[in-house]
């Protein structure tokens, strides 16, 4: 597989030539406009509220909460950076578990009554930082992402998976050590979990969040339920049953809160799990089951948007107006989820030019936006565009292929990118994320996450040496 690094494409012309030569279909605006009336600077309305521009900060956890699920100084710093970014939509901050057994790691935040004050102050610090930089927060919208990590739960010890699943899956069971049916949630347990989401949403409203995200992506519980075709009972089999967890939670939140809004982060398509093949290049893992991918087709590495589209229609019927899109899972097919030049330590070499992965997400979202123009769509996976992110982002918004541009890794290395783009400030090339994947490798090696290569704060931390040593050992 050979393709150039984006940093080696010296200008927009070279970038576009590479796209054309590789038949990668991405829109591109040569001139990026600035100011509040520019395509990326313009506000957008949802739920009778104005969101002040078209940048959104995607949720990103740092594996750095306290053992009882409260934020630490590292968490607070990350949220303050989200506030100073200039983005007017903060999608969830980071994944916050609704109860202990659903934490993806023993340092994940936990939305309980006991933690409500601390999580409220985290939001407050973000808002205050935003106000310090931009004068006010009238058109800033901040939500909280609520989750149960399901198959990827590790609540007690970093190195000990304690998976809870919804159906058997040959490849994924093998990976997390599921050997029998005891890890599968019963219907009664899922009913209890529904109530736990509702309680957490009540706390989120009390903490001042405008909306909660009922997370349905990345292979975690909500997402796995959508693919639960083999599950018997109330939550499996038919489309209606697979969507029941979401619809019950939404109904419960509506009854228990005072008008708290609800959004969904959704993996809008999925592929089968990948593993390293020859030369460590990713291949679909043998034994995979394409029928258990939500939004995947029968080949295992293609998409079928019919069910995701049906789900979005259902969401609209139950009053949801915002979908934060993503794809696949960072655990079993990271190349479709967060395209990168350098894979994380437990990954595989990209089986395609990562720009193909960027385009796949953008085009899938454009198709869904076309089918559901009444919904507000946030796109993801833009970081790999690097220096050309603003050009593609503007073109996407102008062509109504998405309403808002989600930023993940890029804001870890270049937190003030949205403010720079909208104000027309100089592009800070040295802060551009080059997708080294250290922010993913670190937590996979049980080290707190952060941008160790580019963020001076993490560069100076002792964990950087630890990470270097682990990477050197893995490369041997």
Ligand X SMILES: Cc1cc2nc3c(=O)[nH]c(=O)nc-3n(C[C@H](O)[C@H](O)[C@H](O)COP(=O)(O)O)c2cc1C
Binding footprint of ligand X on the chain (CB under 6 A): 58-61, 94-95, 145, 217, 265, 326, 338, 380-384, 407-410, 439-440, 449
How far is Cα 217 from Cα 162, in angstroms, rounded to an integer? 19
DSSP-derived secondary structure for 283-336: EEPTT--GGGSTTB-TTSSSB--HHHHHHHHHHHHTT--EEEEE-S-TTT-HHH
Residues in the chain: 476
Which of 123/265 has CB closer to ligand X?
A: 265
Q: Which does 451 bind (CB under 5 to 8 A by kind): ligand X, ligand SF4, none?
A: ligand SF4
User: How many angstroms separate the CA atoms of 328 and 345, rounded?
Assistant: 18
- 421 is a contact residue toward ligand SF4 (CB under 6 A): no
Residue 383 parent element (H or E): none
Structure tokens at 453: 């290569």
The answer to whether residue 99 forms part of the interface with ligand SF4 (CB under 6 A) is: no
- Rule CB under 6 A: choose which of 64, 289, 353, 438 binds ligand SF4: 438
Smallest distance, Å, CB 129 to ligand X? 20
d(CA 102, CA 69): 12
Using DSSP, state whether 142 is helix, strand or coil: strand
Which residues does 158 contact at the CB level (< 8 Å), separation at least 6? 105, 106, 446
- Count of residues near ligand SF4 by CB under 6 A: 14
| 300 Cβ neighbours under 8 A, 6+ residues apart | 271, 272, 284, 288, 290, 293
**Beta carbon of residue 276, minimum distance to ligand X (angstroms, whole number):** 20
Q: Does 434 bind ligand SF4 (CB under 6 A)?
A: yes
Partner interacting with residue 434 (select from ligand X, ligand SF4, none; CB below 5-8 Å by kind): ligand SF4
Instruction: Return the residue nearest ligand X (CB atom).
Output: 408
Comparison of 257 and 329: residue with beta carbon closer to ligand X: 329
Distance from CA of residue 404 to its chain's centroid?
Answer: 14
Q: In whole angstroms, give the CA distance from residue 112 to residue 146.
A: 11
Residue 74 found at the interface with ligand SF4 (CB under 6 A): no
Half-sphere exposure of 241 (CA within 13 A, CB side): 14
436 is in the binding site of which of ligand SF4, ligand X, none (Cβ under 5 to 8 A by kind)?
ligand SF4
Q: What is the Cα–Cα distance from 208 to 88, expressed in whole angstroms?
A: 16
Residue 227 interacts with which of ligand SF4, ligand X, none, CB < 5 to 8 Å by class: none
Find which of ligand X, ligand SF4, none residue 94 binds, CB within 5 to 8 Å per kind. ligand X
What is each CA distance from 326 to 297, 306, 423, in whole angstroms?
A: 17, 16, 28
CB of 437 to ligand X, least distance (A): 8
Residue 315 in contact with ligand SF4, rule: CB under 6 A: no
Which residue is associated with the tokens 């739960």? 153
Distance CA 200, CA 111 (A): 6
If contact means CB under 5 to 8 A according to the sort of partner, which of ligand X, ligand SF4, none does residue 421 touch? none
Interaction of residue 57 with ligand SF4, rule CB under 6 A: no
Binder of residue 408, out of ligand SF4, ligand X, none (CB less than 5 to 8 A by kind): ligand X
- Residue 139's contacts (CB-CB under 8 Å, 6 or more residues apart) are 43, 50, 51, 52, 88
Which residues pair with residue 276 across a beta bridge? 282
Residue 454 binds: one of ligand SF4, ligand X, none (C-beta under 5 to 8 A by kind): ligand SF4
445 binds ligand SF4 (CB under 6 A): no
Nearer to ligand X, 107 or 231 (CB): 107
Least distance to ligand SF4, CB of residue 179, Å = 34
**What is the torsional sign of CA 300, 301, 303, 307?**
positive
453 interacts with, out of ligand X, ligand SF4, none, CB within 5 to 8 A per kind:
ligand SF4
| Class of residue 107 by CB neighbours under 10 A (exposed 0-12, middle 13-18, buried 19+) | buried
Q: Which residues within the stretch 452-471 sit at the binding site for ligand SF4 (CB under 6 A)?
A: 452-454
Q: Does 437 bind ligand SF4 (CB under 6 A)?
A: yes
Which range of residues in 57-65, 145-153, 160-168, 448-456 is near ligand SF4 by CB under 6 A? 448-456
61 contact, one of ligand SF4, ligand X, none, CB 5-8 Å limit per kind: ligand X
Residue 59 partner contact from ligand SF4, ligand X, none using kind-dependent CB cut-offs of 5 to 8 Å: ligand X
Q: Which is nearer to ligand X, 89 or 217 (CB)?
A: 217
Instruction: Say whether residue 433 binds ligand SF4 (CB under 6 A).
Output: yes
Q: Could you give the CA distance from residue 312 to residue 226 in angstroms, rounded to a whole number?
A: 12
Q: Does 380 bind ligand SF4 (CB under 6 A)?
A: no
Binding to ligand SF4 by CB under 6 A, coded x per residue (else -) over 2-21, reads --------------------
Token pair, residue 218, equals 């990345």
435, 443, 445, 448: residue in contact with ligand SF4 (rule CB under 6 A): 435
Beta bridge partners of 274: 284
- Point out which span in 3-11, 151-159, 275-283, 430-438 binds ligand SF4 (CB under 6 A): 430-438
Binding footprint of ligand SF4 on the chain (CB under 6 A): 409, 412-413, 433-439, 451-454
């Amino acid at each position: 597989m050979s393709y150039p690094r984006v940093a080696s494409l010296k200008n927009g012309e070279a970038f576009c030539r590479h796209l054309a030569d590789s038949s990668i279909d991405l829109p591109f605006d040569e001139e990026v406009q600035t100011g509040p009336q520019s395509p990326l600077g313009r506000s957008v309305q949802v739920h009778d509220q104005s969101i002040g521009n078209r940048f959104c900060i995607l949720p990103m956890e740092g594996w750095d909460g306290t053992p009882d699920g409260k934020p630490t100084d590292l968490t607070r710093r990350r949220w303050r950076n989200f506030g100073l970014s200039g983005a007017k939509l903060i999608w969830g901050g980071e994944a916050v578990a609704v109860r202990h057994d659903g934490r993806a790691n023993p340092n994940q935040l936990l939305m309980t009554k006991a933690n409500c004050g601390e999580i409220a102050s985290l939001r407050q610090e973000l808002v205050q930082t935003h106000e310090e930089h931009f004068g006010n927060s009238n058109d800033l919208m901040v939500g909280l992402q609520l989750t149960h990590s399901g198959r990827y739960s590790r609540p007690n010890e970093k190195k000990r998976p304690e998976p809870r699943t919804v159906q058997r899956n040959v490849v994924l069971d093998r990976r997390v050590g599921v050997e029998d049916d005891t890890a599968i949630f019963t219907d009664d347990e899922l009913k209890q979990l529904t109530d736990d989401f509702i309680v957490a949403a009540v706390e989120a409203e009390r903490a001042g969040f405008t909306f909660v995200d009922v997370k349905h992506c990345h292979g975690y519980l909500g997402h796995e339920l959508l693919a639960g075709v083999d599950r018997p009972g109330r939550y499996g089999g038919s489309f209606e049953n697979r969507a029941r967890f979401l619809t019950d939670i939404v109904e419960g939140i509506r009854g228990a809160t005072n008008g708290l809004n609800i959004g969904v982060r959704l993996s809008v398509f999925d592929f089968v799990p990948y593993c390293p093949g020859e030369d460590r290049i990713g291949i679909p893992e043998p034994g995979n089951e394409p029928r258990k991918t939500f939004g995947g087709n029968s080949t295992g590495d293609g998409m079928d948007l019919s069910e995701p589209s049906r789900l979005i229609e259902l969401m609209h019927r139950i009053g949801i107006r915002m979908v934060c899109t993503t794809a696949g899972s960072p655990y079993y097919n990271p190349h479709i989820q967060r395209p990168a030049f350098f894979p994380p330590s437990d990954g595989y070499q990209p089986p395609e030019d990562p720009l193909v992965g960027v385009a796949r997400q953008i085009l899938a979202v454009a198709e869904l936006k076309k089918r559901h123009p009444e919904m507000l769509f946030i796109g993801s996976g833009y970081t790999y565009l690097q220096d050309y992110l603003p050009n593609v982002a503007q073109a996407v918004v102008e062509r109504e292929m998405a309403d808002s541009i989600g930023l993940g890794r890029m804001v870890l290395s270049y937190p003030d990118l949205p403010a720079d783009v909208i104000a027309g400030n100089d592009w800070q090339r040295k802060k551009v994320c080059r997708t080294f994947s250290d922010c993913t490798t670190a937590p996979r090696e049980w080290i707190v996450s952060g941008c160790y290569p580019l963020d001076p704060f993490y560069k100076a931390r002792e964990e950087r040496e630890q990470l270097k040593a682990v990477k050197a050992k893995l490369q041997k």
